[in-house]
Every structure is written in structure tokens, then in C-alpha cells.
Amino acid sequence: MLKRIVWIIATLLIVVAGFFFLAAALVAGAVIAAVVLVRLWWLRRKLRNAAERQVITTEYTVVERESAPPGRLPADGDPGR
């Protein structure tokens, strides 16, 4: 009888310890997953910002061509004179 009570107590202790181990493992896994996801988000954000900065911006002036004489349309490459 005493042997059976000891086995039951030992089994309950193992089950409770297993439950807490599983809970700790799940929390650790969630923390690691969150860290990895934040790191990936940060890298993608950094790459996106770097790609946006590669665009060259400058000032420019639009130079209009002379208009074609009446009755004549300018051809491709023809400046319209």
C-alpha cells in the first residue's frame, strides 16, 4: 500500500513538473519567435528605406521646342523648323 502511494505521488510530481516545463518552453518559444519577427521587420524596414534613398532627385527645366509652321506637323527627330 505504501509503495502504491509513493508511486502516485511521484507520478503527480512528474506530471506537475512536466506541465511547468511545457509552459516555460512555450513562453520561451513565443519570446524567441517574437524576437525573430521583430528582427525581420526591422531588416525589411531598413532595406526599404535604403531603396527609397537611392532615388536621385534633382531640379530640371523643361525646354519647349519651337512650334511647327502652320499646315506642317514635325516628324520624329525634326525640331519643327
What is the reported pLDDT for 44? 95
pLDDT tens-place values along the chain, 81 residues long: 999 999 999 999 999 999 999 999 999 999 999 999 999 999 999 998 888 887 777 888 888 877 766 666 656 655 555
What is the reported pLDDT for 69? 65
What is the reported pLDDT for 70? 67
How far is it, in rounded angstroms, from Cα 33 to Cα 36? Answer: 5
Ordered by start, the domain boundaries in the chain are 1-45
Q: List Cβ neighbours of 66 (8 Å cut-off, separation of 6 or more).
A: 79, 80, 81
What is the reported pLDDT for 40? 97
